Amino acid sequence: MTPRRAPVLACSVVGAAVVALDGTVLTVAQPALQHDLHAAVGQVQWTSTGYLIAVASLLVFAGRLGDRYGHRRVFAVGALGFAAASTGIALAPGIGAVIALRVLQGVCGALLQPATLGMLRTAYPPERLGTPIAVRTAAIGLAAAAGPLVGGALVSAYGWRAVFLLGVPPALAIGLLALTTREPNHPGGAAHPRDAFHPGDASDPRGAARPRGAARPRDASHPRGAAHPRDAARPRSTPPAPSAARAALDPGGALLLAVTLGLLVHGLVEAARPGRTEAGLLACAAAVGAGLLLARHERRTAHPLLPAELLRSRPVVAGLAVLLAASAALFGTLFVATYFLQDVQGLDPLGCALRVLPLAALMVLGAPFCPPLQRRFGPRRTATAGAALLTGGVLLLSRLDAAAGALAVGVSAALLGAGFVTLMVTATSVVVHRAPEAHAGVAGGLQQTAMNIGPALGVATATLLVALVPGGGFVPAHGAALPALTVIAALALPAALALPGAAQRRGTRPGPPPPRPARRICVRS
C-alpha cells in the first residue's frame, strides 16, 4: 500500500464503522432516552425513522456530489457534520431537538457513506478493490457486533448522552484527515489533463529524440504565433467539455428520488408497526407513483441523476439485487430470532447476543478470505456459494422449535454470517469495480441505498407475517415469517448467477483505449 492510499483506506474504513456503530448503540440507548426526556414511544421511534429516511433519500444525490466536486471533500463535510450533529444530540434539551438533529445527522451520513466507496474507487486500480472493500466490510461487522456491548456499558455508567459522544472523536479525526489529504489517482484512473503526458515519454513529441542538427519544428517550418499541428494532436491542450467533465446535478431527479425513497422507507417502517399497516401501504403506493414520475423524468433529461450506462450494466444491477435480497433476508431473520431467543426462550440481551455471536465473528474473520476466493473462482461462483450459505442459514433457523439448543442456533448464525459477508464483499466489489469511475459516487450511493432499503423491507415483511399468523408467534417452526425470508434469501441465487463469471485479471482495466500517440513531424534542416 502506498503512503497516499493509506489515509484514503483509513477514512473509508473508519467512516463506515462510525456509521454502523451509531446505528447499533442507539437501539440500546432509546429506553433511557425516553425515560430521561419524558418522551412518547412514537417520538423515540422517530429518532430512528427520521435518520433512516434522511439517509436513504439522499445517498444517490450525495454520490453525484462526490463525482462532481470530489469524494474527499464531500466525505470531509459529511464526517465533520456528523460529529457536530452527534455533539448537538448529546447536549439536546428535549426530544424535538433530538429528532431534528438526528435528521441532520442522517443528511451528513448520506454525504459520508457513498464517499467511502468513491474514494476507494479513485484511489485503487479496479482489480485491487477487493481487499480494501473486505477490510471495510470487516470493520462494519466489528462495529455492529461491538455496538450493543459498548452502548450498554456507556448507558449504564454515564447515561444515554455518552452514546452519541462515542463517535465524535473518530468522526472529527477522519474529517480533518480527509481535508489534509490529497485524493490520489490510480494508474488506470482518470488523471487530470495536465498529467496526460510528461516530457520524455515515448508518446510525447517533445520527448522524442531529434537528429543532430535538426531544427525545432516550430522554428523551421511554422510562422511565429501560429498553432502548431502537434498541439492539436496532444490531448492535454484540449480541455474537456464542461458537460463531460462535470455533468449537471439534476436537482429535479434528486428531488423525485428523495421523495420516492423517503416514502418507501416511511411506508415500510409504518407497515411494521401495530395498527399502522394501512398507512404504510398507502405510503408505499405513493412511492411507486413518485418512482414512475422519476423514471419519466430521467428518460427526458439531458444529464440524469441515474446514468443510463450504469443502470444498463448487468453486473451492477445484479450486484445491487444481491445486496437488496441478502440484507432483507438477514435483518428480517435477526428480527424474528431476537424475539424468539428473548421472549420464547427467556434469554436476557447478553445471552441472546452470545447465541448469535458466530454471525458477527464470521463477518469479521471471513471478510479477508473473500478477495482471494473472487480471484480464484470469480464473482459468480463466490456469490452463488454465499447465497447458498445464507439461504441454508435462514432455512435451518426456520425449522427450530421452542426447545432449540445453543448449538442449532449457533450453526444457523454461522451460516448467516458466512453467507452474508461473502455476498456483501463480492457484490460491493462488482458494483464499485464495474461502474465507470466518473459515476463511482452514484454507484456507491446505489450500493448504500440497497443496504438501507433491504433491512427495512425484511423487518416489515417479518412483522406483517408474524401478525398474519398469530398462532405461531415468534417460534420459527410454527410461523410464516422465516419461510418467507428463506424465499427472499433464495432470490439472491439468480442475481448471483448474473454476476461476471471470471475475475478481472491484474493489469487489465475496463475503460476506453488510450489515445494514439501524436505523429512526429519530419523537418528537413
Domain annotation for the chain: domains and CATH numbers = 1-181 (1.20.1250.20), 253-306 (no CATH), 307-502 (1.20.1250.20)
Q: How confident is the model over 418-460, as pLDDT tens digits?
A: 999 999 999 999 998 888 878 888 888 899 889 888 888 888 8
Q: Grid coordinates 427495512 are at which residue? A: 456
Q: What is the pTM of this model?
A: 0.76
- CA-wise closest residue to 441 among 19, 2, 54, 75: 75
CB distance 15 to 176 below 8 Å: no
What letter represents residue 76's amino acid?
A
Distance CA 62, CA 66 (A): 6
- pLDDT of residue 186 exceeding 80, the answer is no
Mean pLDDT within 136-157? 85
Q: Is the pLDDT of residue 510 over 60?
A: no
CB distance 167 to 89 below 8 Å: no
Please, which pLDDT band fits residue 214 given cuts at 50, 70 and 90? very low
Residue 342: DSSP 8-state? I
User: What's the average model confidence in pLDDT over 498-521?
Assistant: 57
Which of 138-142, 145-149, 219-223, 477-481 ranks highest by mean pLDDT?
A: 138-142
Q: Is the pLDDT of residue 508 over 90?
A: no
Beta-carbon-side half-sphere exposure of residue 234 (alpha carbons within 13 Å): 22
Residue pair 302/248 in contact (Cβ under 8 Å)? The answer is yes
Residue range 268-281: average pLDDT? 81
The pLDDT tens digits of the residues spanning 278-288 come to 888 899 999 99
Q: Which residues of 331-357 are buried (b: 16+ CB within 10 A; e: fewer)?
A: bbbbbbbbbbbeebbebeeeebbebbe
Phi, psi of 400 (to 5 degrees): -80, 145
As a whole number, the mean pLDDT across the chain is: 81
And the C-alpha cell for 503?
A: 475475475
Q: Nearest 5°: CA angle at 263, between 258 and 268? A: 130
Triad 409, 450, 71: Cα angle to 5°: 125
Q: Which range is least confidently modeled, 31-45, 113-127, 429-443, 499-513?
A: 499-513
Q: How far apart are CA 103 and CA 65, in angstroms?
A: 19
Query: Could you tell me the three cell numbers for 58?
Result: 439522499
* Residue of 467 and 211 predicted with greater confidence: 467
Using only the alpha carbons of the chain, give its radius of gyration. Answer: 26
489 within 8 A of 389, measured Cβ to Cβ: no
Over pLDDT 90: what percentage of the chain? Answer: 38
Question: Distance (Å, rounded) from C-alpha 174 to C-alpha 12?
Answer: 9
Total residue length of the chain: 525
Given a contact cutoff of 8 angstroms between Cβ atoms, the answer to whether 493 and 384 are in contact is yes
Q: Bigger pLDDT: 293 or 268?
A: 293
Residue 156, pLDDT score = 83
pLDDT of residue 248: 65
Q: Mean pLDDT across the stretch 286-291? A: 93
**Sign of torsion over alpha carbons 153, 158, 163, 167:** negative
